[in-house]
Amino acid sequence: MGKRDDTYELQRIIELDEGFFSAETAEQEKEKPLKRGRGSQKKSKVLVMAESVPAEGETTSKGKTRKVGHLKMTVIPDLKAVTVNKPGKTHEIK
């Protein structure tokens, strides 16, 4: 299912955001006290890219005339600008 995401090419306006999803912790880390927040051992950092497509004749509750097209999600090792910008630049429209 994850490989299927590579077949879609995001077009038009692309919105980037980070997400944190629960992950299984390693055995040696289960004994350590857990960190809280962004650095938690229980959470994986995921870069979410959403394609924004114009919706004709439709508006959302906030008055926007766009809807979500395809999504791409990529697990990233950290949230540094270099790491976050790299996948985003591969989807730039040329």
DSSP one-letter code for 12? S
- Indicate whether 7 belongs to any domain: yes
Contact at 8 Å (CB) between 91 and 10? yes
Checking if the pLDDT of 37 tops 60, the result is: yes
pLDDT digits (tens, 9 = 90+) for 41-89: 778 888 888 888 777 777 767 777 777 888 888 888 888 888 887 765 6
Could you count the other beta carbons within 10 Å of the beta carbon of residue 86? 13
CA triple 76-50-84, angle to 5 deg? 30
As given in the structure block, the two tokens for residue 42 are: 């229980």
Q: 17 lies in which domain range?
A: 3-89
Report in angstroms the alpha-carbon separations of 5 from 2, 24, 44, 54, 81.
6, 23, 19, 21, 23
- Indicate whether 56 belongs to any domain: yes
pTM value is: 0.66
- Indicate whether 94 belongs to any domain: no
Checking if the pLDDT of 18 tops 80, the result is: yes
Domain count, the chain: 1
